[in-house]
Each structure stands twice: as C-alpha cells, then as structure tokens.
Amino acid sequence: MKIVILSRNMSLYSTQRLIQAGRNRNHYMMVLDHMRCDLLIEKGRPVIYHDDQRVHNVSAYIPRIGSSATIHGEAVVRHIEAMNVYSTLSADGLIHARNKFRAYQILAAQNILVPKTILSSSSYTADTMLHLLGEPPYIIKLLNSTHGAGVLKAETYEMAMAMIEAFSRAKQRLMLQEYVEESAGEDLRVFIVDQKIVACMKRKAQSGDFRSNLHRGGTSELVNLTREESQVALRATRVLGLHVAGVDLLRSRRGPMVLEVNASPGLEGIEGTSRVDIAGKVIEMVEKYANKTKTWKRKQLS
C-alpha cells in the first residue's frame, strides 16, 4: 500500500518510527508536509498537491498535526475525507481534541469527569470566576498549550489575578482550572489505537514542578490501570472520535479525571517506557481499514 504520513519534520522520532514500521510490512511510505499541501476542488472533486506535484493513489494517511498547524491541517484532513481515503485521524477528531475546553465540553456531556474549569473571554469577571473555582492554588492554562509550556500554577488569589491580566493584555485565550492537589505531580498517559489500550505509563514531575510532561523533565514508569481508568480512557477516545489517542488521566479523589486527549500523541516516551511497538500497531490498524473507508465511517459514527 502507499501510505502517506503528514508531518512537518521527517526526522522526528514518531515520523521515523512510522516509516520504519510501514516498511517492515512492505508498504510504500511517503512523508508529506501538510503545510505544503495545496487543496483543490476541481469539477466537484477534491485533489491534493504537495508543492507542485499532484498526490496520487494513496491508500491511507497518517496525519501528525502539531498545534501550530491546526487550521490548515484540519482543512487537509477534511479534503482526505472528501476523497474517501482512510485517515487515522478525522478532521472532527482533531478539532475536538485540540482545543482543551471544547474537548471538556464534549467529554462532560457524556458524563466523563474533567477538572472544574472556566473559560472566559475577558478579565473583567476574573474575581467572581476565581471565587467560583474555590480556594487557591489555581491552574491557568492556555487553550492550546502543549508540552506543559502554557500551564501555570498561581499559589494565591493575587498571583492568579496578575497572571490573568497579563495574559489578557497579550491577547492569549486561557482557561482557569482547579488544582487537583492529590494527583501530586503525577498523571497517567494511556495510549489507544483502534479502541484498544496498547500501552500506558505513569509520568512524574521533577521536583519543584507540578507538570509531569517529559518535555518538562518529568520521568516515566510502567503502571497498571484500574478497570475504571481503562474504561474512562477508552470512552474519552470514542466520544472525541479518535482512532489514535494519548489520554492523560489524573488520579483524583473523585475518580479518574481526563486532563486532555492528544490527537497526535508522540511515540518516543511511551515506546521507550513500555517497549511496545506502537508504530507497528498503527500500521496494523491502517491495514485493517484502508480501502474499507465506508466500514470505518460507520464504525466511527456508532
């Protein structure tokens, strides 16, 4: 099969692993940069050009869309859907998961536990909103933060007010969130491919930080999930319409809480920790669904 990975950078670990896994199974693997894709609708038919070359005869796409490329990335994935070609990521899945607040709205509507969170379009009501959240500390989070870089903890009410004001001057959209203290700088990353948990790990923040991201110096280890944690992670993935997902859970006093669901989760940390060939599992899923797009669509809707 000809399988295209949409990736901005061929040398990334995840991209390299997917190329390798596909080649091991005798597929023709190609990497295209979604930001260099032009989308054409011609006589009612969708066509993709990469640079100035028309892209032909692709059996399946594996989009790896980073947060800085969401808008055009979504358009490319929607084009692939219009062409009726299998993609491991749907445009709706990408859009649902990428904006953390939108993801919470969808999850909460299905009774999936998420942290108490407030989205506000201005700083005028910050005082009331902080009081609604409860006692400090508070978490202040950019809507499309990644790698923990847009996540701050305000220890006091005054610090929170100052941060909200600064962000709102800088025209950054943010949300306010309760701090889940009992998670103690730890979270679970559950990796799901085709409605199955293929690997999971516990991540722990380095001392002095509360963010467990490996990019922030966090460490990881193997973990056993409870049945409830597994079910929550699988349901969250399903309601957001994702075939491949990295679900982050907090072990809260109220039960497993979904912190975020990653639609293009990195493979390096989780493969390194779990020793599972996750790239291989993604290719196996592609083999199962490619050329059977209708089956996949039916399944996704159910």
Ligand X SMILES: Nc1ncnc2c1ncn2[C@@H]1O[C@H](COP(=O)(O)OP(=O)(O)O)[C@@H](O)[C@H]1O
Footprint on this chain of Mg ion (rule: CB under 5 A) = 248, 260
Shortest Cβ 68–ligand X spacing (Å): 13
Q: Is 7 in the site for ligand X (CB under 6 A)?
A: no
Q: What Rg value do the Cα atoms of the chain yield, rounded?
A: 20
Q: Which is nearer to ligand X, 4 or 259 (CB)?
A: 259
CA dist 108 and 206 (Å) reads 30
User: What's the min distance (Å) between Cβ of 144 and ligand X?
Assistant: 8
What does the alpha-carbon distance between residue 50 and residue 5 come to, in Å, rounded to a whole number? 13
Residue 292 binds which entry of ligand X, Mg ion, none, CB below 5-8 Å type-dependent: none
Per CB under 6 A, 145 contacts ligand X: yes
Cβ atoms within 10 Å of 162's Cβ, excluding its own: 12
Only one of the segments 25-33, 41-49, 50-58, 138-146 lies at the binding site for ligand X (rule: CB under 6 A); that segment is 138-146
* Beta carbon nearer to ligand X, 158 or 181: 181
Minimum distance between the CB of residue 69 and ligand X, rounded to whole angstroms?
A: 16
Cβ neighbours for 298, distance < 8 A, ≥ 6 positions apart: none
Q: Which stretch binds ligand X (CB under 6 A): 120-128, 179-187, 263-271, 285-293?
A: 179-187
Residue 247 DSSP label: E
Distance of alpha carbon 205 from alpha carbon 180, whole angstroms: 14
Under 8 Å between Cβ of 34 and 63? yes
Assess contact for 291 and 84: CB atoms under 8 A.
Answer: no
Q: DSSP letter at 114?
A: -
CB 248 within 8 A of CB 201: no
Contact between residue 90 and residue 259 where contact means Cβ atoms under 8 Å apart: no
Site for ligand X in 55-74 (CB under 6 A): none
156 burial class (0-12, 13-18, 19+ CB within 10 angstroms)?
exposed
Contact flag: residue 167 with ligand X (CB under 6 A): no
Q: Does 264 bind ligand X (CB under 6 A)?
A: no
Q: Which of 213, 264, 273, 274 binds ligand X (CB under 6 A)?
A: 213
Site string for ligand X, 99-128 (x = CB under 6 A): ----------------x-------------
Of the pair 61, 179, the CB lying nearest ligand X is at 179
By CB under 6 A, name the binding residues for ligand X: 115, 139, 141, 145-151, 177-180, 183, 187, 205, 210-213, 248, 259-260
